Chain A
Amino acid sequence: MDILARIPQLLVYGIISGSILSLGGIGVSLTYSILGFANFAHGDIMALGAYITLGLFTLLGGWGLPNTPFAPLSFGLSFILAAILSMGLTGGCMILLDRVLFKHLRRAGSIILMMASIGIALGLRNILQFFWGPQPHYYIEGIQIATRIPALGIRIKPDQVFIICTAILLVVLLHVFLQHTKIGKAMRATADNMDLSRVTGINTDRVILWTGVIGAALATAAGVLAGIENKFITPELGWQMLLSIFASVVLGGLGNIYGAIVGGMVIGISEEISTAFVSTGYKPAIAFIIMVVMLLIKPAGLLGKGK
Chain B
Amino acid sequence: MEQLSGIINYIVYFAITAGTYGILSLGLNIQWGNTGLFNIGIAGFYALGAYTSALVSGPPPSAWDGRIFGGFELPFIFGLLAAAIVSGFVAFLIGVPTLRLKADYLGIATIGIAESIRLVLKNESWLTNGVWGLQQLPSPLYTSIHGGTKELLQQHTALPGWLHDLVANSYNWFYLLLVLGILFILYLIVEKLTRSPWGRVLKAIREDEDSAAMSGKNTFSFKLQAFVLGAMIMGIGGSLYAHYARFISPASFKPLYGTFIVWVMLILGGSGNNKGAILGSFVVWGIWAGTDFLTGYLPFSATQAASIRVIIIGILLEVVLLWRPQGLLRRERRSKTFL
Is chain B found bound to chain A in the same assembly? Answer: yes
Is B122 close to A, CB under 8 A? yes
Tell me whether chain B's interface is mostly helix, strand or loop, or mixed. Answer: helix
Q: Is B109 on the interface with A (CB-CB < 8 A)?
A: yes
Q: Once the chains bind, are B108 and A115 in contact (CB under 8 Å)? A: no
Give chain A residues whose Cβ lies under 8 Å from the Cβ of B115.
243, 284-285, 288
Chain A residues within 8 Å of chain B by Cβ, number: 42
Docked pose: A100 CA to B296 CA in angstroms: 30
List residues of chain A with CB within 8 A of the CB of B120.
Answer: 285
Is residue A292 within 8 Å, beta carbon to beta carbon, of the partner chain?
yes
Q: How far is the CB of A96 from chain B (nearest CB, A)?
A: 13
Bound complex: CA A104 to CA B321 (Å): 10
Quote the shortest CB–CB distance from B125 to chain A (angstroms). 11
| A-B pairs, 3 with minimum CB distance | A123-B314, A126-B307, A288-B112
Q: Does any Cβ of A come within 8 Å of B315's Cβ?
A: yes
Of the listed stretches A127-135, A165-173, A192-200, A210-218, chain B binds A127-135
Interface window among A6-14, A155-163, A246-254, A262-270 = A246-254
In the bound assembly, the distance between CA atoms of A55 and B229 in angstroms comes to 48
Q: Report A's interface with B, CB cutoff 8 A.
A: 32, 37-38, 40, 101, 104-105, 108, 110-112, 114-116, 118-120, 122-123, 125-127, 129-130, 133-134, 243, 246-247, 250, 254, 279, 281-282, 284-285, 288, 291-292, 295-296, 299
A and B contact pairs by CB, cutoff 8 A, 7 listed? A101-B318, A114-B107, A118-B263, A119-B260, A123-B310, A129-B307, A296-B97
Nearest Cβ in chain B — how far from A152, in angstroms? 32
Of B119, B264, B322, the contact of A104 (CB 8 Å cutoff): B322
Is A279 a contact of B123 with CB atoms below 8 Å? Answer: yes
Checking A127, A246, A291, A292 against B307 with a beta-carbon cut-off of 8 angstroms, the contacting residue is A127
Could you tell me the distance in whole angstroms from the C-beta of A279 to the nearest C-beta in chain B? 6
Inter-chain contact total with CB atoms closer than 8 Å: 115
Q: Which residue of A lies closest to B113 (CB)?
A: A288
CA distance A262 to B253 in the complex (A): 33
B8 within 8 A of A: no
Measured CA separation A285–B116 after assembly (Å): 5
In this assembly, does B176 line the interface, its C-beta being within 8 Å of a C-beta of chain A? no
Within 8 A of A (CB), among B94-118: 97-98, 101, 103-105, 107-109, 111-113, 115-116
Chain B: which residue is nearest A105 at the CB level?
B321
Cβ of A122 and Cβ of B310 under 8 Å apart? yes
Given the interface contacts A111-B103, A254-B104, A284-B119, does A247 sit within 8 Å of B325 by beta carbon? no
User: Is B317 an interface residue when CB atoms closer than 8 A count as contact?
Assistant: yes
CB distance from A21 to the nearest CB of B (A): 15
Q: How far is the CA of A129 from the CA of B322 in the complex (A)?
A: 26
> A126-B314, A127-B311 are known contacts. Are A295 and B98 too (CB-CB below 8 A)?
yes
Output the least CB separation between B325 and chain A (Å): 6
Closest to B101 in A: A299
The answer, yes or no, to whether B303 is at the interface (CB within 8 Å) is yes
The reply to whether A119 and B325 form a contact with Cβ atoms under 8 Å apart is no
> In the complex, which residues of chain B have a beta carbon less than 8 angstroms from the beta carbon of A295?
97-98, 101, 105, 109
